[in-house]
Amino acid sequence: MRAVVSRKLSWILAIPLIVIIGCSKDDGINVELNSEINEFIWQGLRTYYLWQEEVPDLTDDRFETFDQLHTFLNRFSTPELLFNHFLHQDDRFSWIVSDFEELDKALQGISRSFGYEYNLVRIGSTNNIFGYVQYVLTNSPAETAGLKRGDVFHSVNGIRLTQANFNDLLFAESQVLGLGNFLSINETVQDNGKTISMSSVEISENPVFLTKTFEVNETKVGYLVYNRFINSFHGELNAAIGQLKSEGVSEMVLDLRYNPGGSINTARLLSSMLYDDATSETVLGSIIYNSRLSEFNSDLTFMEVVKLFDRDGNEIGEEAINRLDLNRLFILTGGATASASELVIAGLQPYLDLTLIGTTTVGKNVGSVTLYDSPDEGYLSKTGINPNHTYAMQPIISQLANSVGFTDYVDGIQANVEISELQHIGNLKPLGDETEPLLAEALSIVSGTGRSIVKEKLNLTSVYNSHENRAYSRAIIDSKSEIDKLLLTKFPF
């Protein structure tokens, strides 16, 4: 067992230096460890995992000797099997990867992609599914090929989509989408003979997708489509809010329906831009860790300045924050709205009159961190990383609450006005179009005219959202922070 000293613990908030005192491998050890990766998994989860005390094989008194520990770890033939063995029954979001370089890119919004996001839908109780395009990135292969929001596809590379094959078909390096027309009258997709051919490229996606201002009965209404919480795009987010402020908006529609989460600090920043009365002493929420780290349970406060970061998480400057003076806020939600998005919703509820329009959110009231096999750095940095493998983990390590202690949204946060995008397949309006159903509902409330809500009629079920395949959709991460305390933790053997 490697001795562990002077570990830097840096992640969501300023969690401090940790020293874990272990025993050296020459202390009477007779059973050789077969996998360094398995040792890393056990050490990392045993230190940080939110449910550590509730998982029998992670408890402090589980193993009395290294021989017992090594015998146990050697039972698992792959790291994935061991990792999954440790997962608590309530854990829906922890995961492990075999290539941390790809993980690091994904967490900063960089990945190989065609440049479009989609939802897969099942018709009735059949096994047949089809997809529809939610949005397309500018200057992406998808845009170049002519794909647009609302396009319906039923096949990939000439093979009809089913629940059994879509994983193999949609994650290839190249694809030919077979397009069709959705016929609501009999709930079928009819091939229209058109195809879209694309090859994936590495894309860095700006999460500030669309900024727009509407005038409704002489009232300026701001609209922002924000698709991820990434700290290296703080400047772009601040500029978008600054644009809306300069245009004199007094009402705001925040579109988070495709936002699966990201950085807690970015969630704090966006919340601070939307609640003008907040100071750095005003509490947005709180973060709670396992008992081993309970000393670092702390409040999440609003921000009064914009910290700027590069893609490696290094702070590179700051700028004045742009803020909107709002009394109420409309938030558009959907089945991909998760984690940091939900923190913004829950955190602002005590301070602003919120109206949620769309469908129920994911229900991720927990946070995670990237762990590398770098014991001298507390498993939280690639400095001194074990060169023998490239595995990394993204375990859940914290629970989130708002300023009044509200944490109970594991089943998602329900919309005040239920409007399902599925009911408009075949006639999806562009994002930012005043007749797009979710946006139109918000604008109608501002105007006071009201609308008749489209009731669910189509027998359609969402079976997969492309955001589920993104690393940042399962992680709440943040930049490296300054170490401000010292915690000594000793294993019991």
pLDDT, tens digit, 9 for 90 and up, residues 258-273? 999 989 999 999 999 9
Cα–Cα distance between 348 and 387 in angstroms, integer? 44
> What single letter denotes the amino acid at residue 216?
V
The mean pLDDT value of the chain amounts to 85
- 3-class secondary structure, 264: helix
Element (H, E) at 34: none
The pLDDT of residue 482 is above 60: no
* Cβ-Cβ contacts under 8 Å for 441 (sequence gap 6 or more): 357, 417, 419, 451, 453
**Pairing between strand 396-402 and 283-288?**
antiparallel
Q: Counting Cβ atoms within 10 Å, is residue 147 exposed (0-12), middle (13-18) or buried (19+)?
A: buried
The CATH 2.30.42.10 domain(s) of the chain lie at 111-203
- 364: pLDDT strictly greater than 70: yes
Domain boundaries for CATH 3.90.226.10 within the chain: 208-456+467-474
Q: What is the pLDDT of residue 426?
A: 80
Structure tokens at 68: 């017992």
Closest alpha carbon to 482 in 316, 317, 321, 314: 314
Q: 12-16, 401-405, 447-451, 483-487: which range is least confident on average?
A: 483-487
- Cβ–Cβ < 8 Å for 357, 438: yes
Superfamily of domain 208-456+467-474: 2-enoyl-CoA Hydratase; Chain A, domain 1 (3.90.226.10)
The pLDDT, as a whole number, for residue 427 is 84
Residue type, 461: T
CA–chain centroid gap for 107, Å, is 9
Q: How confident is the model at residue 305 (pLDDT cuts 50, 70, 90)?
A: very high
**pLDDT at residue 124 is higher than 80:** yes
Say which DSSP state 31 is in. S
pTM: 0.86
Q: Would you tell me which CATH number, out of the four given (3.90.1150.10, 3.10.450.50, 2.30.42.10, 3.40.50.620), belongs to the domain 111-203?
A: 2.30.42.10
